[in-house]
Structure 1
């Protein structure tokens, strides 16, 4: 309730002052005032600097998503919807991004060669000026994108996702030719960690190999086998925000600090038993200023 009350209070103060702010809440409040006669067709689904990370990388998925969005209109959001979206970003986006960044530092410590390559890539892109890292530049760093992508594959913070069948569907494609019927209303659990670590989907799945996600290799990734943010029109609403945040922090950290393994660094990671979130018992690495 604290966050809900805080968001409502800030919204009320902004409406009274009519002052514009450059943040996520302001974007939602601006949408609240958009007229209903503007529509967004399938052709308006555009790309951005993070689009190379797009989920399963499948053409079929992009078609499904465009079709789902083709009938969406830019309606006025209610105050309750704005509050819900802001709360979702605060609650769902904090711990998950922090966990991913912890796993990033762990892999940086275990892979000094990769760390050195990332330092070189970011130095060249930013001319050693880490104060002015912008969104577009972050999206043009292939090794940084591959490193973060492999971290999310190796350590998907969400162990599973859940969907309800909207209609009867028959799934086929098993190696033995088997089919499975899923009836409307059935709840389906999708085991993300298992999918990411299946040798049918990724060679040497328990090895940390960012090269899998370099531009020249991404075509080898099977559709719907890489799902750190889910897939389709109901994928994680905070995907691009989370990727921007993680990449920005990693880029700034490695410019100023070196991470390395110490005697207390667990290899491999010891995980805390859990149902929804992937958490390590501890992640201990050494840090020194460059």
Structure 2
């Protein structure tokens, strides 16, 4: 366990070449990693990870995401229509439920150009299967981590998720890929960008430092990212069909839980902090242009919106810890401690985010700590909601955009507030599976 910021910097940035790989499935480390999931950028290791990341990362640049903004805006309007019915009738809603339905439609549309009806149909197959991925039973969770790999097939436990949910999305992605490869049409969704990169061998789609936003400041991160990249055009190793499918599944799996929970937690904090909600409402109103819209470049630079979202991610971090594997023996700074090759190193992100050592009043929701004039008080490598270093979450920008667009739509038209059904503090589930809370009930009423 490494919790000191300076040492965290060494693990995830300075000496990244030693700790390049994550633990994806703890008991599978010494087995053949040949499933679709293992081909994703989230699970890949070594040079395979470098190659996949170099192709995948550019799909999440600001320029690419700006082309998805209009579509996300349209789907946010569908969510507002659903909330409007609730505001006129029940007057309260489950933020977890609504966020999952909205995010399902966004991920399906932006990920592979399909259409979901999750906001109007609770039996929508995309929604049902996405939810099942994150509703792992305690039994399955423990078995997937504790039972030796060779015994799992006999118990029908190969991973945290069941084959049914995985097969559902993988089969759809394979069908879409086949159709796209036989078409000359270009698509601006995630899968479309990966296909275009392969078809055109477009070097402009390959990762470059100027397009990456780093969570922690410091000149060493861009240089380390350069070292961890690979010249795809030179080696001519673009993504295979199965690798493209794997990235699509990763987009669904990683995006669903992180985006929906962040949006729900943000709504919760705004409902419990009316002064913060009012200040955000004022900023949103001031950013609306003559057409009644907030352009992409303005939305992504709203300082208070960014601060509120940053504080939400601090209190309700998507990943409670980071894990890295030592690829060789390593001495930790001047601590006198040596990490043997193959040992797992963990960074307790949740604990760091709530430590009074780094955040005064750590359990209080105080967005001002992330405003530009206060950022000098933040200690590098004590804020890691999406990880850090070259292996930070490549989908971070997409998550932030989907949450910001939705929350602007909500706060612009509605006031959120706590009701008798609002539980505070939140009751967390006993084990972590991206869905830490089962439900978050909030009141809602129209502003005009």
Q: TM bucket by the smaller chain?
A: 0.7 to 0.9
What is the DSSP-based 3-state SS (H/G/I as helix, E as strand, rest coil) of the residue aligned with 2:284? helix
1:9 paired residue number: 175
Q: Distance in 1 between matches of 2:355 and 2:218?
A: 18
Are 2:299 and 1:138 aligned? yes
**Offset of residue 272 of structure 1:** 1.3
What is the DSSP-based 3-state SS (H/G/I as helix, E as strand, rest coil) of the residue aligned with 1:181? strand
1:45 paired residue number: 209
1:248 paired residue number: 405
Are 2:188 and 1:22 aligned? yes
Aligned positions, number: 278
What is the DSSP-based 3-state SS (H/G/I as helix, E as strand, rest coil) of the residue aligned with 2:232? coil
Q: Deviations over 1:36-74 (max 9, x none)?
A: 988969xx41147xx3xx3223443343223323x4434
**Offset of residue 170 of structure 1:** 2.0
**Offset of residue 226 of structure 1:** 0.7
Counterpart of 2:289 (choices 123, 127, 133) is 127
Contact 1:153–1:196 (Cα < 8 Å) also in 2 = yes
2:232 paired residue number: 73
What is the DSSP-based 3-state SS (H/G/I as helix, E as strand, rest coil) of the residue aligned with 2:182? helix
Are 2:252 and 1:93 aligned? no
1:84/1:214 CA distance change after superposition, 3 Å: same
1:149 paired residue number: 310
Q: Deviations over 1:215-256 (max 9, x none)?
A: 122232212111111111111121111111111111111111
Q: Distance in 1 between matches of 2:283 and 2:215?
A: 24
**Offset of residue 24 of structure 1:** 1.3
Runs of 4+ more than 4 Å apart: 36-41
Counterpart of 1:205 (choices 350, 357, 362) is 362
Contact 2:232–2:238 (Cα < 8 Å) also in 1 = no
1:218 paired residue number: 375
2:118 paired residue number: none
1:192/1:4 CA distance change after superposition, 3 Å: same
Counterpart of 2:246 (choices 65, 69, 84) is 84
1:46/1:112 CA distance change after superposition, 3 Å: same
Q: Distance in 2 between matches of 1:281 and 1:16?
A: 43
What is the DSSP-based 3-state SS (H/G/I as helix, E as strand, rest coil) of the residue aligned with 2:347? strand
Contact 2:209–2:222 (Cα < 8 Å) also in 1 = no
Q: 254-263 or 277-286: which moved more?
A: 277-286
1:223/1:13 CA distance change after superposition, 3 Å: same
Contact 1:119–1:254 (Cα < 8 Å) also in 2 = yes
Q: Distance in 1 between matches of 2:196 and 2:372?
A: 36
1:55/1:276 CA distance change after superposition, 3 Å: farther
Q: 278-287 or 203-212: which moved more?
A: 278-287
Map 1:156-235; keep pairs closer than 5 Å.
Answer: 156-172=317-333, 178-235=335-392
Q: 256-265 or 162-171: which moved more?
A: 162-171
- Higher percent of residues as helix: 2
| TM-score normalised by L of structure 1 | 0.87
1:159/1:278 CA distance change after superposition, 3 Å: farther
**Offset of residue 190 of structure 1:** 2.0
1:102 paired residue number: 264
Q: Deviations over 1:76-128 (max 9, x none)?
A: 22111111111101111012211111101101101111111111111211238
Counterpart of 1:64 (choices 213, 220, 224) is 224
Contact 1:150–1:209 (Cα < 8 Å) also in 2 = yes
Contact 1:101–1:250 (Cα < 8 Å) also in 2 = yes
Mind listing any 5+ residue stretches in structure 2 that lack a counterpart? 1-166
1:166/1:217 CA distance change after superposition, 3 Å: farther
